Chain A
Amino acid sequence: MQWEVVIGLEIHVQLSTKSKIFSGASTAYGAEPNTQACTVDLGLPGVLPVFNGEALKKSVMFGLAVGAQINERSVFDRKNYFYPDSPKAYQISQLYYPVVGEGHIDIVLEDGSQKRIGVTRAHMEEDAGKSLHENFHKQTGIDLNRAGTPLLEIVSEPDMRSPKEAVAYMRKIHSIVRYLGISDGNMQEGSFRCDANVSLRPKGQEEFGTRAELKNINSFRFVEKAINVEIERQMDILESGGTVTQETRLYDSEKNETRSMRSKEEANDYRYFPDPDLLPIVISAEEIEAIRKTLPELPDAKCARYMEQLGLSEKDARALTVDRDMAEYYEQVQQAVDDAKMAANWLLGEVSAMNNKNGLEFKDCPVNAVQLTGLLKRVKDNTISGKIAKEVFEAMFTGEGSGGEGDADTIIDKKGLKQITDTGAIEAIIDEVIANNPGQVAEFQSGKDKLIGFFVGQVMKASKGKANPGQVNQILMQKLRS
């Protein structure tokens, strides 16, 4: 039997507000346990939530970015369940009237084609605290610093048909929230995490199969792996004639398996009802339009512009615009150097390679745009060759220089890397190479044109790579042909 997988994702994005969604406590990550939990976050008797309007603004930005309906009136509901890291024993969320309605994004598939994925809705809610199970002598510690951190839960339509599509969707949402600046998107710190609904059905069947929900997947790599192992598990069940049970499963990244957390029968009845402590959240059409005006250029628009205005290929334009930090870096260098292709080649080549090699995000690249600009200008004006430029770049990457545009010049001077353009000096080296290789000269002159590469190589080697390659070529040809 040919099976088709159906995937829908629920992505939880921490909104980067300074204070919590319903209290004045700080949302900064990593503080000592319970030092950022005020009376409201602790759920003491008598306390009341007060909504932080920044969370609404950021949520609306997201909605506008995915072409969604923004609901001018949204309502907070209580989701009731007992758990120690949920201090009020209910989570304030939005079930019946979410702030963001239907929207969509386009993802690029492996074959380069695009696919539209529906966004069902997005709603605001508060994060829970954390249970700590170590060092408490068989008891559990509770850290409520994270309790009340604003989240935007983005629910997709079940539109994805492969783990790779799920990853592409997740990456695109990540890219959008980073572009909008509404979240730091930091997956290690849990600012961006995802639940995946996965089901199988015989290819060609309309009706969905029974789904399992995979909880709390916190990396792009794991989402693909988790879905893959879940597909295998469900396929084994179905092919041996069994039925999949609707349940919540936890992905264990160490064992690369999913295991049951609770079945549908064990599922909580959350007894949602509108939170009487909060008024409906209202935003006017004018306010929505004002927020729309603050939206930055988004990845798709940027990509199109790079292709049209800068003449980049779709592949390069796409690659440069996934990460907002990279795109901004690129634009700065490109404008200063006035060479779109060169800047693109450098960013997608050397700069990305060095970042990847060192496991760095683009925003953490130790060489800034101004430094790279200084370097590329020296390539353009023939002070150094492209090859030498990589050497200078590596020096900058490992910390040489002070972070300014002059760094390239300083390093070139210090290491004596300046290109030799003096015709006399180049001629002297060439003469020496010709004198030392009479055999090859004879072969060349008898018609073995390919040997030019050998001679260029010898000259460059003798000049320690500093001879201007164009001049070397030209003079060599003259001398060998004469």
Chain B
Amino acid sequence: MYNKTIAELSAGLEAGEFSSVELTQVYLDRINSLDEQLNSFITVTPERALEQAKNADIQRAAGNAGILNGIPLAQKDIFCTKDVKTSCGSKMLDPFISPYNATTINKFNDSGAVMLGKTNMDEFAMGSSNETSWYGPVKNPWKQDAVPGGSSGGSAAAVAARLAPAATGTDTGGSIRQPASFCGITGLKPTYGRVSRYGMIAFASSLDQAGPMTRTAEDAALMLNVMAGMDPRDSTSVDEAVPDYTANLNDSIEGLKIGLPKEYFSEGLDDSVAKVIESAVKEYEKMGAVIKEISLPTSNLAVPTYYIIAPSECSSNLSRMDGVRFGHRCKDPKDLNDLYIRSRGEGFGPEVKRRILVGTYALSEGFYDAYYVKAQKTRRLIANDFNQAFDDVDVIMGPAAPSTAFNIGELTDDPITMYLSDIYTIAVNLAGLPGMSIPAGFANDMPVGLQLIGKHFAESKLLNVAHQFQKETDWHLKAPASFK
């Protein structure tokens, strides 16, 4: 049962083959017996899950079941969940029980979905390997010495290991797509403004976007149908009609114009990964797509631009974690400064501190124009590159990451190389575009993700292009040996 997709499970529930309570119990049991190996969950909520499952079964019996009714899901621990610990992977928020629900959580609750628990993540979503989590690293289900990627590493590992049919992730610079690539699952980062950020603990507000992490494009479409939409509580969410994302999945991609940015296939890309991407592109060619080499000349500016803007915003966003109203507070503060310094010093891990320092510096008087203002300008250049490219092509493709999953501990002392693992994903966030990673094959027995990048609000197109690939290939159906 746990190898089934959301679409299949939903059909099974509707046909009465099993109840949501039974289905939920299957996943709770798997988490219980297997997650010790992976550490993909920070919090498991069995009572709440079974209660929700029971209600879902009642709803279904009453004939009020939508597609996600009764489907168990895992939620990244970045989404505020009422009465449940919402830690964001940090000691700082370990004591934080949210008094309210994120809009995304409310939407899944309204759809009748069941929450299994909250997944592990890099601390405050800052990391590309899930090693910065205060709750310890997550292991890659394909090889437990390897990282699952980050920051949504818990969600990616849980879905790959069949501990949940699907999960939510968030993506600021690649945090959905890179772990999806490392764990061999399907991940979609929607257009900035497509999904509400209300109740999603902010890392870099102008870049953060939530999206689905699933096994198939079809499941991602089903999840996005629930998640997408303008939210009056989020001024940056966009009032753009939400289509049925499953409607165009089966459209033909004959004649589809695919752009391959030459900058994404140059120095820094592992040969073995390049081979997998090339063969995936050939598959598209076979399906009637037209391949075109394009150029994104400002690609080299993406990482430095990102590492000014994201830390700047995070230095301000994380200031509210001050030990005054919620979260970690140091013991016996002497005075106000002592309270701030020790609470924050003890509550934040080294990567978070590093980024707060960088951001504070970049925004300081005398440096603001040279760093932040300049980064905003290069950000516009990067966005313009994509706009121009999309004059000629429908979709851009390339690798989601320069390598397959690296080993735990391999890059922890080398933040620059770690930052470069998001080199192909970051520009997409800076431009606010939708991007996906789908399983495209294996290199050295580890999964490789193909990245698809679309125009603003072209999620339907991306899902269609991904689904067509998944109809012709079976990479997305492969499961790691120990979790089959």
Q: Is the CB–CB distance between A269 and B364 below 8 Å?
A: yes
Question: How many residues from B make CB contacts under 8 Å with A?
Answer: 44
Q: Counting CB contacts under 8 A, is A78 at the interface? A: yes
Kindly state the separation between the CA atoms of A279 and B239 in the bound complex, as whole angstroms: 13
Q: Is the CB–CB distance between B316 and A50 below 8 Å?
A: no
**A-contact 0/1 string along B172-209, CB 8 Å cutoff:** 00000000000000000000000001111110111000
Q: Is the CB–CB distance between B360 and A271 below 8 Å?
A: yes
Q: Counting CB contacts under 8 A, is B100 at the interface? A: yes
B142-182 interface with A by 8 A CB criterion:
none
- Chain A minimum-CB-distance residue to B102: A46
Q: Counting CB contacts under 8 A, is A88 at the interface? A: yes
* Other-chain residue from B199, B319, B325 in contact with A46 (beta carbon distance below 8 A): B199
Known contacts A89-B322, A273-B363; decide if A45 and B206 are in contact (CB<8 Å). no
Q: Counting CB contacts under 8 A, is B413 at the interface? A: no
Known contacts A45-B93, A80-B316, A82-B340; decide if A273 and B322 are in contact (CB<8 Å). no
Known contacts A46-B80, A46-B102, A48-B197; decide if A82 and B235 are in contact (CB<8 Å). no
Query: Most chain-A CB neighbours within 10 Å: which of B88, B312, B315, B316?
Result: B316
Q: Is the CB–CB distance between A48 and B365 below 8 Å?
A: no
Kindly state the separation between the CA atoms of A122 and B117 in the bound complex, as whole angstroms: 48
* Other-chain residue from B326, B336, B340 in contact with A44 (beta carbon distance below 8 A): B326
**B-contact 0/1 string along A266-301, CB 8 Å cutoff:** 000101110011110000000000000000000000
Q: Counting CB contacts under 8 A, is A39 at the interface? A: yes
Q: Is the CB–CB distance between B235 and A277 below 8 Å?
A: yes
Q: Counting CB contacts under 8 A, is B96 at the interface? A: yes
- Chain B minimum-CB-distance residue to A79: B316
**B-contact 0/1 string along A34-48, CB 8 Å cutoff:** 000001001111111
**Chain A residues, Cβ within 8 Å of B326:** 44-45
Q: Is the CB–CB distance between B202 and A90 below 8 Å?
A: no
**Chain B residues, Cβ within 8 Å of A49:** 235
Distance in Å from the Cβ of A323 to the closest Cβ of chain B?
39
Q: Counting CB contacts under 8 A, is B109 at the interface? A: no
**Chain B residues, Cβ within 8 Å of A269:** 364-365
**B-contact 0/1 string along A90-121, CB 8 Å cutoff:** 10000000000000000000000000000000
Q: Is the CB–CB distance between A78 and B316 below 8 Å?
A: yes
**Chain B residues, Cβ within 8 Å of A272:** 363, 368
* Other-chain residue from B234, B325, B365 in contact with A43 (beta carbon distance below 8 A): B325
Q: Counting CB contacts under 8 A, is B321 at the interface? A: yes
Q: Is the CB–CB distance between A82 and B205 below 8 Å?
A: no
Q: Counting CB contacts under 8 A, is B99 at the interface? A: yes
Kindly state the separation between the CA atoms of A319 and B202 in the bound complex, as whole angstroms: 54
**A-contact 0/1 string along B92-127, CB 8 Å cutoff:** 010010111010000000000000000000000000
* Other-chain residue from B201, B202, B235, B324 in contact with A84 (beta carbon distance below 8 A): B324
Q: Is the CB–CB distance between B372 and A45 below 8 Å?
A: no
Query: Most chain-A CB neighbours within 10 Å: which of B198, B200, B234?
Result: B198
Distance in Å from the Cβ of A381 to the closest Cβ of chain B?
61
Q: Counting CB contacts under 8 A, is B233 at the interface? A: yes
Q: Counting CB contacts under 8 A, is B232 at the interface? A: yes
- Chain B minimum-CB-distance residue to A51: B235
Q: Is the CB–CB distance between B320 and A88 below 8 Å?
A: yes
Q: Counting CB contacts under 8 A, is A87 at the interface? A: yes
Kindly state the separation between the CA atoms of A82 and B202 in the bound complex, as whole angstroms: 18
Q: Counting CB contacts under 8 A, is A434 at the interface? A: no
**Chain A residues, Cβ within 8 Å of B372:** 273
B351-390 interface with A by 8 A CB criterion:
360, 363-365, 368, 372
Kindly state the separation between the CA atoms of A39 and B372 in the bound complex, as whole angstroms: 30
**Chain A residues, Cβ within 8 Å of B197:** 48
**Chain B residues, Cβ within 8 Å of A50:** 232-235
**Chain A residues, Cβ within 8 Å of B248:** none
Distance in Å from the Cβ of B339 to the closest Cβ of chain A?
9
Kindly state the separation between the CA atoms of A47 and B325 in the bound complex, as whole angstroms: 14
Q: Is the CB–CB distance between A82 and B322 below 8 Å?
A: yes
**Chain A residues, Cβ within 8 Å of B102:** 46
**A-contact 0/1 string along B314-348, CB 8 Å cutoff:** 01100111101111000000001000100000000
Known contacts A84-B336, A269-B364; decide if A43 and B320 are in contact (CB<8 Å). yes
Q: Counting CB contacts under 8 A, is A480 at the interface? A: no
Query: Most chain-A CB neighbours within 10 Å: which of B232, B235, B313, B364?
Result: B235
**Chain B residues, Cβ within 8 Å of A45:** 80, 86, 88, 93, 96, 98, 201-202, 320-321, 326-327
Distance in Å from the Cβ of B317 to the closest Cβ of chain A?
9
Kindly state the separation between the CA atoms of A269 and B366 in the bound complex, as whole angstroms: 10
Distance in Å from the Cβ of B429 to the closest Cβ of chain A?
12
Kindly state the separation between the CA atoms of A34 and B321 in the bound complex, as whole angstroms: 19
Q: Which 8 A-B pairs have the closest CB atoms?
A: A89-B319, A271-B363, A276-B205, A276-B206, A46-B199, A45-B201, A46-B80, A43-B320
In the assembled complex, 20 residue pairs joining A and B whose CB atoms fall closer than 8 Å, in A order, are: A44-B80, A45-B96, A45-B201, A47-B199, A48-B197, A49-B235, A80-B315, A82-B340, A84-B322, A87-B324, A88-B319, A89-B319, A89-B322, A90-B319, A271-B316, A271-B360, A272-B363, A273-B368, A276-B313, A277-B202
Since A271-B315, A276-B206 are in contact, a sample of 14 more A-B pairs with Cβ atoms closer than 8 Å, ordered by chain A residue number, is A42-B325, A44-B100, A45-B98, A46-B102, A48-B197, A48-B234, A50-B235, A84-B322, A90-B319, A271-B365, A272-B363, A272-B368, A273-B368, A277-B236
